[in-house]
Amino acid sequence: MNYLGIDIGGTNVAYGIVNSNNEIVYSNSFKTSEFPNAKTCSKAIFDDLNENASQLKIQAIGIGAPSVNFFSQSIENAPNLDWEDDIIPLKDIFEEQFEISTKIINDANAAAIGEHIYGGAKDLETFAMVTLGTGVGIGLVINGEVYHGANGTGGEFGHICIDRVNGRECGCGNYGCLETYIGRDGILKTARQKIEFGGVTQLNKIIPSELSAKDIFKFARKEDPVAVDIVAQITKDLGYAISIITNSLDINNIFLFGGIAKEGNFIKKRTLKDLKPYLTAALRDNINLQISELINENPAILGAAYMVKI
């Protein structure tokens, strides 16, 4: 039996057919910006599978997506998704296209399920999966259960306010959200400000429109002072935001996943150092911050597919 797992992100739509041994037997991806709406996205995936993987019969579809309301099975007011409608009945759209039972879940929760079943959280009943990408999210597994929240919209970690005074405007309508500092665009905004005012740096040799977080970390490793300063700002903000979750919920296992988490120990060590001063005494000595064991795979595809398997 096969299951289709789809990870809809602000930048890419990635998907894979997962077999009963939990192996991805076919995968592909598109740029999210290729599609004006969810309908054209579902049609493109359908056509691709028809053409290239029609021998793999699919039993059910699981989708991880941003700004999901788990209860209504819709995407609601997604700041990082440039699709036409504010309310997108994603489950219905895919079921209409594929005529296969479909379930949708917040992308960070899908990634958390992936980590729980296949990755470093196998033996953990309670942990947090922080996803760092275009947006910033958190998947919480508490006492073995994914936490969806009172309205079905849990996981919006990127919209914790970390600057109440001079906060940047966020796509969600609020100001000072974590995502406006450590989401993809937020990092680049910080970088542009610091490159302009921060003195001598190799980063200004890169064409501004081509600058990426990867470049910033590359030069930070070479101790370029401005790049070091940008990374320090990221890990301070991330560390502080994580402490809000760990201290409130007494969670001591946290996994980092997504673009900048690929920097491995380099980001982990710095985030941990910046997180520790904010921790409660109980957590300070047994906090366990790790990079996702599925960092080079796609836990959201695996997690979304697993969700519909059970």
Q: Cβ neighbours of residue 236 under 8 Å, at least 6 residues apart? A: 274
CB of 174 to Zn ion, least distance (A): 5
How far is residue 263's CA from residue 55's CA, in Å, rounded to a whole number?
A: 38
- Of the candidates 59, 91, 87, the one whose C-alpha atom is nearest the C-alpha of residue 75 is 87
CB of 184 to Zn ion, least distance (A): 14
Specify the residue, 38 or 170, whose C-beta has the smaller distance to Zn ion: 170
- Identify any residues that bridge with 291 across adjacent strands, giving them in sequence order: 256
Please state, in angstroms and as integers, the Cα–Cα distance from residue 77 to each residue in 87, 92, 219, 264, 266, following that order.
Answer: 6, 17, 36, 32, 34
CB of 173 to Zn ion, least distance (A): 7
Out of 6, 132, 177, 261, point to the residue binding Zn ion (CB under 5 A).
177
Specify the residue, 135 or 299, whose C-beta has the smaller distance to Zn ion: 135
Torsion of CA 244, 248, 251, 252, to 10 degrees: 60
CB of 135 to Zn ion, least distance (A): 9
Specify the residue, 64 or 171, whose C-beta has the smaller distance to Zn ion: 171
Out of 172, 231, 283, 302, point to the residue binding Zn ion (CB under 5 A).
172
**Per-residue mark of binding to Zn ion, 132-171 (x: CB under 5 A):** ---------------------------x----------x-
Please choose, out of 21-29, 172-180, 240-248, 273-281, the segment that lies near Zn ion by the rule CB under 5 A: 172-180
CB of 137 to Zn ion, least distance (A): 12
Residues in the chain: 310
Query: What phi and psi values does residue 62 have, to the nearest 5 degrees?
Result: -120, 135
Q: Are 63 and 305 in contact (CB under 8 A)?
A: no
Chain contacts with Zn ion (rule: CB under 5 A) = 159, 170, 172, 174, 177
